[in-house]
Amino acid sequence: MTELGVVRRKIRRAERAAVEALGRYGVATVHEAMGRVGLMKPTMRPIYPGARVSGTAVTVLLHPGDNWMMHVAAGEIEPGDIVVAAITAECTDGYFGDLLATSFMARGAKGLVIDAGVRDVKTLTEMGFPVWSKCVSAKGTVKATLGSVNVSVVCAGAAVNPGDAIVADDDGVVVVPAEWARKTAEAAQAREASEGEKRLKLAAGVLGLDMYRMREPLEKAGLKYVD
């Protein structure tokens, strides 16, 4: 059961080298390397194009319209972390702006992933602090009710534990459990290694039908070419 009113201080972060490796492969490759699980919903979009980050999750659970725990979360950030913010119910409010971003950056955060809204996006873009969010909204929040920091949360359809590896880029956000980070990085590397050769063949006009030997299984499945 998700606990409210709790800040967990000791979390096991995914191994740094693995987290950094995951960041090199990007969301699509990492998601495939995990066996096609772990993705957040496609509603999570970056506030500006081109950013790619990987880091370890500091999770925060907030109430609709209340960003009090964001300030508590700031206190738990270590360099290389990405804050992952979940709300106890659907909310589009702007929980995060340039002041909090200044604080998060000073603490070493590499980005924010939030299943709600964000504001001051022009300034955040200029600061180079990437955020993946459900929407952009100037709507302000109150500071009245306790949530939690570094508990298990569900963010945009994905289960996230504190310390999990997070990779985010223009394709979305993927969560890799801390204990799977190294193995997934290796699988991603293997996957990417095999893509270079494929790309060359496809660029030369070879069809995937032939390269992947799909013609026979397609015919067996009953595919018919007609005029």
Query: What is the footprint of its own copies within residues 47-86 (CB under 8 A)?
Result: 48-50, 52, 63-66, 68, 71-72, 74-75
Extract the tokens encoding 199. 């790309």
| # chain residues binding its own copies, by CB under 8 A | 104
Angle among Cα 2, 6, 9 to the nearest 5 degrees reads 110
Minimum distance from residue 117 beta carbon to its own copies (Å): 6
Minimum distance from residue 16 beta carbon to its own copies (Å): 19
- Nearest to its own copies of 17, 211 (CB atom): 211
Task: Verify binding: residue 9, its own copies, rule CB under 8 A.
Answer: yes
Q: Are 211 and 202 in contact (CB under 8 A)?
A: yes
- Nearest to its own copies of 58, 100 (CB atom): 100
Task: Report the alpha-carbon distance of residue 214 to residue 155 in Å, rounded.
Answer: 37
Half-sphere exposure (Cβ direction) of 132: Cα atoms closer than 13 Å: 32
Query: What is the footprint of its own copies within residues 203-222 (CB under 8 A)?
Result: 203-209, 212, 214, 218, 221-222
Query: What is the footprint of its own copies within residues 14-43 (CB under 8 A)?
Result: 27-28, 31-32, 34-39, 41-42
Considering only residues 15, 16, 24, 88, which one is a binding residue for its own copies as defined by CB under 8 A? Answer: 88
Cβ-proximal residues to 105 (8 Å cutoff; 6+ apart), any chain: 127, 129
Cβ-proximal residues to 30 (8 Å cutoff; 6+ apart), any chain: 22, 38, 167, 174, 176, 184, 188
Considering only residues 8, 20, 80, 192, which one is a binding residue for its own copies as defined by CB under 8 A? Answer: 8
Give residue 64's Cα distance to chain centre.
21
- Nearest to its own copies of 16, 191 (CB atom): 191
User: Distance of CA 52 to CAs 23, 110, 174, 218, Å?
Assistant: 7, 10, 12, 37
Task: Verify binding: residue 193, its own copies, rule CB under 8 A.
Answer: no
Cβ-proximal residues to 169 (8 Å cutoff; 6+ apart), any chain: 26, 27, 46, 51, 52, 53
Minimum distance from residue 17 beta carbon to its own copies (Å): 19
Query: What is the footprint of its own copies within residues 132-191 (CB under 8 A)?
Result: 135-140, 142-146, 152, 154, 157-159, 169-172, 174, 176-177, 180, 184
* Residue 221 backbone dihedrals phi, psi, to 5 degrees: -70, -10
Task: Verify binding: residue 94, its own copies, rule CB under 8 A.
Answer: yes
Minimum distance from residue 19 beta carbon to its own copies (Å): 15
Query: What is the footprint of its own copies within residues 107-126 (CB under 8 A)?
Result: 107, 117, 119-122, 125
